[in-house]
Each structure stands twice: as C-alpha cells, then as structure tokens.
Amino acid sequence: MSDIKNIRDQFLSKLKNELSLDEINSIKTELFGKNGQISSLFKTVGSIPESDRKTFAADLNKIKDELQSLISEKIKEIETKEVNQKLEKEKVDITLPERPFVRGKIHPVSQTIDEISSIFSEIGFSVEEGPDVENEYNNFTALNTPDNHPARDMHDTFYLDENKEVLLRTHTSPVQIRTMLKDKPPFKIIAPGRTYRSDSDQTHAPMFHQVEGLHIDKDINMGHLKGCLNYFIKEFFEVEKIKMRFRPSHFPFTEPSAEVDIGYEIRDGKIVIGEGDQWLEILGCGMVHPNVLKNVKVDPAKYQGYAFGIGIDRLAMLKYGINDLRAFFDCDYRWLNHFGFDPLDVPTNYRGLSR
C-alpha cells in the first residue's frame, strides 16, 4: 500500500507542473507502459497474501483511474491551448480586399432603353412589357396580319412548335394587343424589349430590340404622331433641331402607314444628326388600323390613335458611334468597359440623358 501511495503522491506532484505534450506522454509511459510502475504493480497482485489481495487490487485500480483521468485532462488542456495558439497565429484579415474594386458597366442597349423610357415618360407614356415567347394570334392575327398574309413571310419567324402557334415574337407590336385586351381606353404606352428573327449579318442579329409606342384616345390624329416623334428624336439625340421625313409605307396594323427618316451628314468622319442631306430610316409608324381596334374590343368609331415601332439597337449605334451591331452581343468585357455607362448615373431628362 505504501508503494501505491508513494507512486500516487510522486505523480500527482509531477502532474501539477506546466508540462508539454511530450512530457505528459513520457509520464504516461512511466506509469502505464509495459514496464510502467502501475503496470508492474498489477503484475504483483498474484503474489500478495490472499488476505490483503482484494484491498490491494482495489486501491491499485482506484489510483490507476485517478492518474489516468488526470493525464487525459492534462492532454486535452494542452491540445486546446495549442489549437488556440495556432488560430491566433493564423488569423486571416478578411477586411483586406482581394483585388481593387471594379464597378460594372451598363450595356449601351440598356442605357438606350432607359433613355427612351425617360423621354416618353415626360409626355405621359407609361411602360408596358410582354413575353418574348408569344402566341401566333397576338404576334400576327390580332394585328390584322391573317394567315398567308405576305408580311408573315417577311418576318423570318422562329416558331417553337409544329403547328406554328407558339413563336418568339418578331416585333414588340403584340404588346399593343396585350395592353388593350387587359384595360380600357385611353392608352398611352411604350413597350421596349427583345425581338427575334431568323436573320444575321453586320446590320441584323437574330435577337434585337424594339420599342413599341401606342396612343389611343378620342381625338388623336397624325399631327399628334408627328409632334410626338419630333419631340422624341430631338430629346434622344440631344439636339435643338432635326430634319424628319415621313415616307408612305405599308404595315398591316396601321392605315395610313409611314416610315420615318431623319436627316444627317458625315462631318470629320462623324455622323451629325439634324443637318445635311442624307436620310436614315429609323422607325415605322401609322394610325392604328380599325381592324386591330375591333380585335381588342375597342370601338373604332369612338377611339383612334397612332402606333410606332423603333429599332433600339440602330439608335444606340447612331448615338454612341458603334458601327457593328454584333459587338452588342459579343460580351467582350473590354468593349463593354469602353462603351458602357456608369450604373449610378441613371438617365433623366432634367439631369441629362447620357452624360
């Protein structure tokens, strides 16, 4: 018993010291290793006189448990301390930016759409939207373009089903139909968005952008159309005066119909809008055909108005000096960085559109 007590006292005092993991492990071997002091005492149990054996074994077990749990505790303590020291040393300063902060740019087409919306909102137009996947009725039939009408072939339509009932809209004009079907006149809306035709070269992309305009009320005539477009073109190109020419044309959904050209000249290799004697076609328009109004349950005897469709990409190219339409859809970051706009500088009429 005195042996056991001695070992206990001796090791309890050893374990009180500040110890390293290696030191603890060697204490562990000293006690419980193959020839360790406790292990050796266990080997003597058989030779202890029978009368004392039970108490001896019980004492030995008690001390073994006591020392073992003390050692485990110490090991845990040291390990926690080491992990904490390591964490302290390896701290990452997450407040440091990885790279200098670069702000993204607004694509010139988005910028142009924002500018157009801002200009028309100043004279009371609201913005409507329609889906890119449209039905045949809204895209053609309701717009007075029945089956086998030649205008259907001209549109190079992407059909999405065999029956040719679902398609990618070929123009933004179906938004006229959607708007008039869901509300009552008067209507004064624009509808910018994506349009699709199976056509691709330097001046045509299979996906492009248009903005539709529609103004229906009781006494709307072609003079209003002219005034509205005149205002829009001046505001958009940020010029005092423009030259504008209405050329008779044909669209199934308007009567009469016209295409509008604007005058320009090339000066020092740059296009100047509003001067010179060259003409550039920028939009189609006309007075909404009575058949279209009937199709959306608007009485053509009471209401009439005008509509127009403008190619947005063409306008953006003109205003911002971009000469290949395909660059819009290349996703070239360098190009976007050069031609893109500051996202925090939202275009407004009073603060300036594109500065």
- Contact call for residue 237 and ligand DAH (CB under 6 A): no
Binding mask 267-306 for ligand DAH (x = CB under 6 A): -----------------xxx--------------------
For residues 1 and 74, give the distance between their C-alpha atoms in angstroms, rounded to a whole number: 26
- Residues numbered 240 to 259 that lie near ligand DAH (CB under 6 A) are 251, 254
> Residue with CB nearest ligand DAH?
309
The span from the CA of 108 to the CA of 337, in Å, is: 10
Pairing of β 187-196 and β 126-127:
parallel
Nearest by Cα to 289 from 165, 173, 155 = 173
Question: Which residues inside 205-234 make contact with ligand DAH, applying CB under 6 A?
Answer: 212
Q: Tell me the two tokens of residue 179.
A: 């708007």
Q: In the numeric block, which tokens belong to residue 63?
A: 């001390």
Confirm or reject binding of residue 309 to ligand DAH (CB under 6 A): yes
Find the binder of ligand DAH among 111, 173, 295, 304 (CB under 6 A): 173
Only segment of 5-13, 27-35, 114-122, 307-315 that touches ligand DAH (CB under 6 A): 307-315
What is each CA distance from 219 to 289, 299, 318, in whole angstroms? 15, 13, 34
Binding residues for ligand DAH, total number by CB under 6 A: 11
Answer yes or no: are the C-beta atoms of 88 and 76 closer than 8 Å: no
How many CA within 13 A on the CB side of residue 99?
2
Smaller CB separation from ligand DAH, 193 or 284: 284
Query: What residue type is assigned to position 38 of the chain?
Result: I
Output the smallest distance, CB 254 to ligand DAH, in A.
4
Q: Contact at 8 Å (CB) between 289 and 255?
A: yes
Candidates 177, 307, 312, 315: give the one binding ligand DAH (CB under 6 A): 307
Please state, in angstroms and rounded to a whole number, the distance separating the CA atoms of residues 318 and 233.
12
The interface with ligand DAH within residues 70-129 (CB under 6 A) comprises none
Q: Does 196 bind ligand DAH (CB under 6 A)?
A: no
Q: Which is nearer to ligand DAH, 105 or 209 (CB)?
A: 209
- Residues near ligand DAH (CB under 6 A) are 171, 173, 212, 251, 254, 284-286, 307-309
